[in-house]
Amino acid sequence: MTHSAPPKTGQAAPKGAAEPQVRTVRVPADRAGQRLDNFLLGQLKGAPRSLVYKLVRSGQVRVNGGRAKAERKLEDGDEVRIPPVRLAEAGDRPTPPRGLLDALEAAIVFEDARLLALNKPSGLASHGGSGISHGAIESLRALRPGQTLELVHRLDRDTSGLLVVAKKRSALTELQALMREDGGITKRYLALLTGRMPDGVMTVDAPLHIGLRQGGERHVQVNPAGKPSLSHFRVLERRGGQSYCEVRIETGRTHQIRVHAQHIGHPIAGDDKYGEAEANKRLRDQAGLKRLFLHASTLEFALDGGKAPYLLNAPLAPELVDVLDRLG
């Protein structure tokens, strides 16, 4: 079911290109449970996430004839109205620099027929968006033209470590279902927390709420009205008065580890959003820490209904190893 309409959003189409049209797409069974924003990103290849959110907020996207929120979970047979959007042809988009592609090729820590796991460097966004031309997924697609590659999850831009990409739709669906299950995927991070944490495991059970600051920047805080969030911090060793910890999370909220660390009075070293400016400056001067000391180190899960176990590891980034060495 397709209707013509004048284009409203996006970039100018090349001369001779067909006018984009309103489309109504029926959600197939294998997309049931997918969020509306992620479904739209799959339909509007190359569209920045900021544009997708704008289309949803303005009511140009409809589900079964009504307005919907970006986080709505779609059901089999839902009808999604997709407005006309002109996007630059694939050949018109700038190619990621060769140096970035080579670095990403070297950063692949695991690959089989279903999955690819990347040890994402700090400073690289998981996907492109407003002001970001090349995220990890766009760069991987440029590295592997013709392959189907879909992000299974995201990492903060400043966080390094394991980023898993599905090469098959079946793997993506199963992994996303595991992420929604309690204990479906075990996620462990390595972090340097400022100050001396107590021995043993400290469990933080504190709900998190995402708010917006002036300018649209997301800021997360502990709030009883927020979503349940659970993190377990365990000190591995102490270096220079700081605590090097393993963090296991049972939920995957935005900025969860960073806000929970701040909540217990031991923010993550190098965190310029939730951390302590004086402590960050001291660690920069003493140990050369110039980034957030948070690294996604381990993911453990099983596909095929538990028959195919995976244990993925990404070694700590060299610049973070250097910081630990300098702290003695």
Q: Which residues does the annotation mark as catalytic?
A: 156
Type of residue found at 93: R
Q: Are the beta carbons of 191 and 323 closer than 8 angstroms?
A: no
Which helix or strand (DSSP H or E) is residue 25 part of? strand 22-26
Are 159 and 295 in contact by the 8 Å Cβ rule? The answer is: yes
Helix axes 136-143 and 98-106, enclosed angle (nearest 10):
90
- CB–CB of 259/220 below 8 Å? yes
H or E element at residue 210 = strand 208-212
Kindly provide the residue ranges of all beta strands, DSSP E only, lying in 102-200, ordered along the sequence. Answer: 108-111, 115-120, 150-151, 160-166, 186-193
- Please report, for residues 15, 144, 251, the alpha-carbon distance to residue 154 in angstroms, rounded to integers and kept in the order given: 37, 19, 13
Is residue 321 within 8 Å of 233, Cβ to Cβ?
Answer: no
Q: 195 and 242 in contact (C-beta within 8 Å)?
A: yes
Residue 179 to residues 114, 165, 192, 215, 271, Cα–Cα distance (Å): 17, 14, 26, 31, 26
How open is the CA angle 141-143-148, to the nearest 5 degrees? Answer: 35
